[in-house]
Structure 1
Amino acid sequence: MSTDYQQARIALGERLRELRQTCPTGKLTGPQLADRLGCTHSKIYKLENGKQTATAEDLRAWAEATSHPEATAELLSRLTGFESRIRSWRRQLASGHLPVQRTWNAEVARSKVIHIWEEAVIAGMLQTTDYARHVFIRYAEFQQSKPDADESARARLKRQEWLYESGKKLHVLMWEAALHARICPPSVLAAQLDRLAGVIGMDSISLGIVPLGAPLKLAPANGFCILDDRLAITEDWHAELWLDDSHNIATYLKVWNTLRESAVYGTEAQNIIYAARRALNTH
């Protein structure tokens, strides 16, 4: 969990404690408020100490129970502010992957320079339709979300129109392991690797591969994307993190540049891709 997010959650908890202690009818104890809310005292403790994220319903009920209904809008605004940085998959995928892809498309469209690091799958900006479809199928099964793989794959591929616009530049780094990940049938992965080898040399794309045996200054970790100098997006199993402060963006760019020191480009990168392609025929 990000430090910024946790600090915001702690600040919200402090505000909730303040409302409890300044109830117009008299200061409420934790157990008293818990009784009014019909919840456990431990939940009051967790919310006030930033140990648990409040829901919108929690905040509305808290404002009413402490006789501070006028604070509802403020509390909801605080929640919206820091939740915009932590976009839980449960909430994002309530309507499937397609809305998520459309949000990404809008952010990419307003960008000129994009840096991507991927350690486990082919970067989305370079995926084929079939490969993307299988990725969405796997994640929909895991997250138990709406099965919309076909629509989501088409939306992801539409994002690649950006690559053919004047003045755009995509810098991609991938760990060699991503070339071997069998998240799709071998025939689909073979076509994907052919596509990947084919983009090397395009003016708008710089593709580097970090070989499995390359010396590393940092251990490969979660994939991330940096859009210009305004937004860094990374993801974990529970959520996407959208970071728009300059310090975090600079940190991710430093990570990208450090990983780049271990990458190979051009013919060397193609040779690694071709080797992964040949390995498919040996299984």
Structure 2
Amino acid sequence: MPISPSSSAQAARENVARQLRDLRRSAGLTVTELARACGWHHARTSRVENARTMPSPTDIRLWCRATHATDQAADLIAASQHAESLYREWRQRVRTGLAKLQDDYTELYRSTNVLRVYSPVLVPGLLQTEGYAQALLSMNARLLGVPDDAADAATARVQRAQVIHEPGHRFVMVVEEAVLNYQLGNAEAMAAQLGYLLTAGALPQVSFGIIPMSTRERTLWPQETFDVHDDILVSVELMSAEVNVTQPSEIALYLKAFEELRGMAVYGAEARALVLKAIEALR
């Protein structure tokens, strides 16, 4: 099982906290003296140094000025912002709606040569039809309590998915068979989605595998939804947030898990048979 998916983010936060603590100590300041120089309560200094509170860019500039290390402020601010980008809450990212979020991923997908996707409960985003995506995104909007612009967001998601037709990319996607049976939207929308899987799964640049529910002696239990971008970034989808994993040891573990999952999947005619079975069940 992969290490806690938020560990990369926490490690990055702790690294920033450690550097700030080292600056204070090198300057010969106590926690209270540093706080006084920055104009805040000493408890805030302790929270920052123990990575319980992330410092703002202004906090870091004040800290560096107090420790006579203003030349290090820019790098520390960049490191702090990077740490925050590793764990991003959905509610914050979509507070003005879901459509803008779809565009945010376009460049990432276009810059990825090999994308590995594992999903235990949903059709992968790049293979979603507009009706399926709209039903899903509308549910998300209600859950998160944000504006429901699911129709526009679904259109943007389908447009983003055109990357699978662009040259220079390879997509290896594995889903659990349950994905085919969880109905999102009405029966017509779900049938269209399943029908599209038959088409998309036949594209030469797409490898689409399904792990049958009848698989005996699984080598790995179902995992959380995750994408692996070129062996350098793993994006994990949690209910409340997206976690971006960048530590090589963690990425290696996700790659190992993906290969285990991929090895249990069926492809080609066997996968088509499972999709057709799900379509028939809608009638």
TM-score w.r.t. the length of structure 1 is: 0.83
Shift in Å, 1:267: 1.6
Going from structure 1 to structure 2, the CA distance change for 1:12 and 1:165 (only over 3 Å counts) comes to closer
Going from structure 1 to structure 2, the CA distance change for 1:147 and 1:67 (only over 3 Å counts) comes to farther
Does residue 7 of structure 2 align to residue 6 of structure 1? no
Q: What residue in structure 2 maps to residue 99 of structure 1?
A: 100
* 1:95 counterpart SS class: coil
Q: What residue in structure 1 maps to residue 239 of structure 2?
A: 237
* 2:95 counterpart SS class: helix
One-letter code of the match for 1:207? F
* 2:118 counterpart SS class: strand
* 1:222 counterpart SS class: coil
**Greater relative contact order (CA < 8 Å, ≥ 6 in sequence):** 2
Q: What residue in structure 2 maps to residue 127 of structure 1?
A: 128
Shift in Å, 1:277: 1.9
Shift in Å, 1:224: 1.3
| Structure 1 residues not aligned, in runs of 5+ | none
Alignment of 1:28-43 (within 5 A): 28-29=31-32, 36-37=39-40, 41=43
Going from structure 1 to structure 2, the CA distance change for 1:155 and 1:67 (only over 3 Å counts) comes to same
Q: Tell me the distance in 2 between the aligned counterparts of 1:19 and 1:230.
A: 31
Shift in Å, 1:116: 1.0
* 2:52 counterpart SS class: coil
Going from structure 1 to structure 2, the CA distance change for 1:199 and 1:84 (only over 3 Å counts) comes to same
Q: Tell me the distance in 1 between the aligned counterparts of 2:121 and 2:222.
A: 10
Q: Tell me the distance in 1 between the aligned counterparts of 2:54 and 2:183.
A: 36
One-letter code of the match for 2:251? I
Q: What residue in structure 1 maps to residue 167 of structure 2?
A: 166
* 1:233 counterpart SS class: strand
Contact 2:23/2:69 (8 A) holds in 1? no
Contact 1:137/1:147 (8 A) holds in 2? yes
Going from structure 1 to structure 2, the CA distance change for 1:124 and 1:68 (only over 3 Å counts) comes to same
Contact 1:105/1:156 (8 A) holds in 2? no
One-letter code of the match for 2:236? T
Q: Tell me the distance in 1 between the aligned counterparts of 2:89 and 2:79.
A: 17
Does residue 194 of structure 2 align to residue 193 of structure 1? yes
Contact 1:138/1:183 (8 A) holds in 2? no
Q: What residue in structure 2 maps to residue 87 of structure 1?
A: 88
Going from structure 1 to structure 2, the CA distance change for 1:179 and 1:77 (only over 3 Å counts) comes to same
One-letter code of the match for 1:29? T
Q: Tell me the distance in 2 between the aligned counterparts of 1:257 and 1:184.
A: 32
TM-score w.r.t. the length of structure 2 is: 0.83
Q: Tell me the distance in 2 between the aligned counterparts of 1:197 and 1:176.
A: 14
Contact 1:30/1:45 (8 A) holds in 2? no
Going from structure 1 to structure 2, the CA distance change for 1:17 and 1:211 (only over 3 Å counts) comes to same
Does residue 116 of structure 2 align to residue 115 of structure 1? yes
Going from structure 1 to structure 2, the CA distance change for 1:113 and 1:78 (only over 3 Å counts) comes to closer
Shift in Å, 1:241: 2.2
One-letter code of the match for 1:198? T
Q: Tell me the distance in 1 between the aligned counterparts of 2:276 and 2:81.
A: 47
Alignment of 1:214-253 (within 5 A): 214=215, 215-253=217-255
Q: What residue in structure 2 maps to residue 209 of structure 1?
A: 210
Shift in Å, 1:113: 2.3
Shift in Å, 1:23: 6.9
More displaced, 152-161 or 51-60? 51-60
One-letter code of the match for 2:6? S
Shift in Å, 1:258: 0.6
Q: Percent identity?
A: 28
Shift in Å, 1:227: 2.3
Q: How many residues align?
A: 277
Q: Tell me the distance in 2 between the aligned counterparts of 1:155 and 1:208.
A: 25
Alignment of 1:60-79 (within 5 A): 70=70, 72-79=73-80
Q: Tell me the distance in 1 between the aligned counterparts of 2:180 and 2:19.
A: 49
One-letter code of the match for 1:278? E
RMSD: 3.0
> CA deviation digits over 1:8-45, x for unaligned, max 9?
22222234444555778x63439976x9525x83x554
> CA deviation digits over 1:232-273, x for unaligned, max 9?
222212322223454433332221111011111112111211
Does residue 271 of structure 2 align to residue 273 of structure 1? no
Q: Tell me the distance in 2 between the aligned counterparts of 1:181 and 1:196.
A: 14
Shift in Å, 1:207: 1.1
